[in-house]
Structure 1
Amino acid sequence: MDQHLQVFITVVEKGNFSRAAEELHMTQPAVSQYIQAFERTMGTKLLDRTNKYVRLNKAGEIVYHHAKEIIGLYSKMHYLVDDLTNKTSGPLTIGASYTFGEYVLPHIIVNMKKEYPLITPSITIGNTKDIAELMLAHQLDIGIVEGDFNNKQLSIEPFAKDHLYVVASPKHRLAQLKDELSISDIAEETWIVRENGSGTREAAEKLFKLGKIAPKDLLEFGSTQLIKESVEAGLGIALLSDWAVRKDIENGALCKISIKNSTITRDFSIVLHSPFQTKALEVFLNMVKEK
């Protein structure tokens, strides 16, 4: 059955039978036979076909979603069994929210590859909400998220604290002020924030609530790097992680704005779905916790 699922997934993702056949190193008639047999097993058509493409119908959408989960679990089962007798190796699918994924994770991966070259990591970067959804769909072995996150279906373990700071361009008028500011002093500034669902956006909302302010000029960008570039260019100010701005502050591209009683911290948390761990995942977990 796993072969039928794999053929079905490949046809859907490639968009037609010929490209799927090429990907699977099969003939097109063989791919068609697999799909027909699979549809008979499911008791209904799963694909709408034309000469140029195939598309999922409503039943197909349900089957595709669960097929991805089944294949992921099936592969994980094989690697867990294989780990009992072989060296630490195999694929490791990692999901991380932007701050950890872009500024911390690369250093961990470098060290892991030096010590365990047979592990092949695959990394997905998204906001906390995106990573949680992929974990629930069994598309990731591990997720690392930021901020206050809870889900009864997932195991969530905070492992590190992250400090966030208000930053501005060195040329910004706030950067010229030597006195410590109150949060109300920066309420009228243009704030550049991440999208809803982001841990960094959650932290900014916490700061606004703490200072009882409601910034009127709010720009929403979907990338921490884009926010940093925009702040450096003088477009506005932002609340960003120490990990994200450390180098920029050291080289003078950004500067911290000192705000009274505005210490904002959040947790980085490890998210797991299954109690069973491959050796590759165990190795990665240990390295994350030692970081």
Structure 2
Amino acid sequence: MDQQLKVFVTVAEKKSFSRTAEELHMTQPAVSQYIRAFEETMGTRLLERTNKYVRLNKAGEIVYHHAKEIIGLYEKMHNLVDDLTKKARGPLTIGASHTFGEYVLPWIIATLQREYPDIEPEVIIGNTTEIANLVDTHQLDAGIVEGKLLNHHLELQPLGNDFMYAVASPDHPIFNHGNELLELEATKDMVWIAREKGSGTREAMDEMFEQFEFEPVRLMQFGSNQPIKEAVKAGLGISLLSRWAIQKELEYGELKMVKIAGLPFERQFSIITNSPFQTKALEVFTALLRSHQLLRAFE
């Protein structure tokens, strides 16, 4: 890979010539020389730098975005060629949406490390939209997401079903009349606690509301599953969460399932990639993912 490109990306991320020199085991003057040469090649300044800061300008942001994609493609190309004569090993970058990444993926990664210790996994957790964008720009080898995907040119393969349930605090007024089966409309005046837009869990909740032609009076939004569960336990409202996210809380009596007609809501976990070619590391990870007993636990 072109060293100028690597130095530029590192400076952009470290926001420092000295930290870049330390990271790449170079001298600071060498880093400055690479940046000057790269800017001359591009025909414009890419970094604004003073004694106090180093940051990308508008042209630099464009170059940085594409440089990350080029580096990702280069590394993938190198690993694919390397795999022709070697066993599964080397870096493997995996992205996962919050529910899968927080509650399922760690167990699968642990199995991967036991069976293939030469694979070096790196995991990034984000919402479905964020993970799809990183796979699309070749910054991730693969992603595991929930629900539908707007980026249709990515290759999407079903991985397994997930079931989502309405939950509330055991002390929530919705249980005042016992634990009988309710219509969703009975929750109309109650607070529903939701994930942010772009999340697969939020998409499922919106789809459920649309399916039942239901609109809550008030929606409270949080950025991940854990604060949602804490808010529900505190009695702030009701939420729709994956079976994976609520197992312990149901077992310990911290949350209680609300029996609503038409639930649980079913959705799908899928694995997404952006190339027909896969490294051996990705091949064995995908095979392990499909066969792992954890994914079969609720089927």
The TM-score with structure 2 as length reference comes to: 0.94
- 1:80 matched to 2:76? The reply is no
Q: How does 1:35-184 map to 2 (within 5 A)?
A: 35-176=35-176, 177-184=178-185
Deviation at 1:12, TM superposition (A): 1.2
Bigger drift between 280-289 and 77-86 goes to 77-86
What is the distance in 1 between the residues matched to 2:96 and 2:133? 12
The answer as to whether partners of 2:164 and 2:263 remain within 8 angstroms in 1 is no
CA drift at 1:146: 0.3
In structure 1, what residue type is equivalent to 2:224?
S
What's 2:186 paired with?
A: 185
Aligned to 2:14: 14
Q: What's the TM-score once normalised by structure 1's chain length?
A: 0.96
Q: d(CA) in 2 for partners of 1:261 and 1:136?
A: 35
AA at the equivalent of 2:125? I
Runs (4 or more) in structure 1 with deviation over 6 Å come to none
- What are the superposed Cα offsets for residues 76-133 of structure 1, whole Å, 9 maximum, x if unpaired? 1111111122221111101000010001101101111110111111111111111111
Structure 1 residue runs of 5 or longer lacking an equivalent are: none
Matched residue count: 291
Inter-partner Cα distance in structure 1 for 2:231 and 2:179:
23
Report what 2:224 is aligned to. 223
Q: CA deviation at 1:135?
A: 1.1
Please tell me the residue identity of whatever aligns with 1:235. L
How far off is 1:66 after superposition? Answer: 0.8
Q: Is the 8 A contact 2:192 2:239 kept in 1?
A: yes
Query: Distance between the aligned counterparts of 2:61 and 2:78, measured in 1?
Result: 26
Q: Percent identity?
A: 60
The 2-side partners of 1:286 and 1:237 are apart by: 37
Whether the aligned pair in 1 keeps the contact of 2:132 and 2:143 (CA below 8 Å) is yes
SS at match of 2:228: helix
Deviation, 1:210, is 2.3
Letter in 2 for 1:106: P
User: Which stretch shows the higher mean deviation, 110-119 or 207-216?
Assistant: 207-216
Question: What secondary structure, in the 3-state scheme, does the structure 2 residue paired with 1:266 have?
Answer: strand
Does 234-243 or 16-25 show the bigger shift? Answer: 16-25
Query: What SS class does the counterpart of residue 271 from structure 2 fall into?
Result: strand
Whether the 8 Å contact between 1:207 and 1:262 is mirrored in structure 2 is: no
SS, match of residue 85 in structure 2: coil
Helix, strand or coil for the counterpart of 2:124?
strand
What corresponds to 2:297 in structure 1? none
Q: Which amino acid letter does the alignment assign opposite residue 258 of structure 1?
A: K
For 1:261 and 1:152, the matched residues in 2 are separated by: 29
Deviations 1:172-200 (A, max 9, x none): 22235232101111111111000001111
Q: How far apart are the structure 2 equivalents of 1:161 and 1:97?
A: 15
Matched, 1:29 2:29: yes
CA distance in 2 between counterparts of 1:16 and 1:113 reads 34
Any conservation in 2 of the 1:10–1:20 contact (CA below 8 Å)? yes
Q: Distance in 2 between matches of 1:97 and 1:184?
A: 30
Whether the 8 Å CA contact 2:95–2:142 is kept in 1: the answer is yes
> Displacement, 1:149?
1.4
**Cα distance, 1:157 vs structure 2:** 1.2
Query: Which residues of structure 2 form unaligned runs of 5+?
Result: 293-299
Q: State the one-letter code of the partner of 1:101.
A: G
Paired with 2:22 and 2:225, the residues of 1 have a C-alpha distance of 39
Residue of structure 2 in register with 1:201 after alignment: 202
Asked if the contact 1:16/1:52 (under 8 Å) is kept, the reply is no
**Alpha-carbon RMSD:** 1.3
Post-superposition Cα deviations, 1:124-160, rounded to whole Å, max 9, x if no partner, equal 1111111111111111000111011132321111221
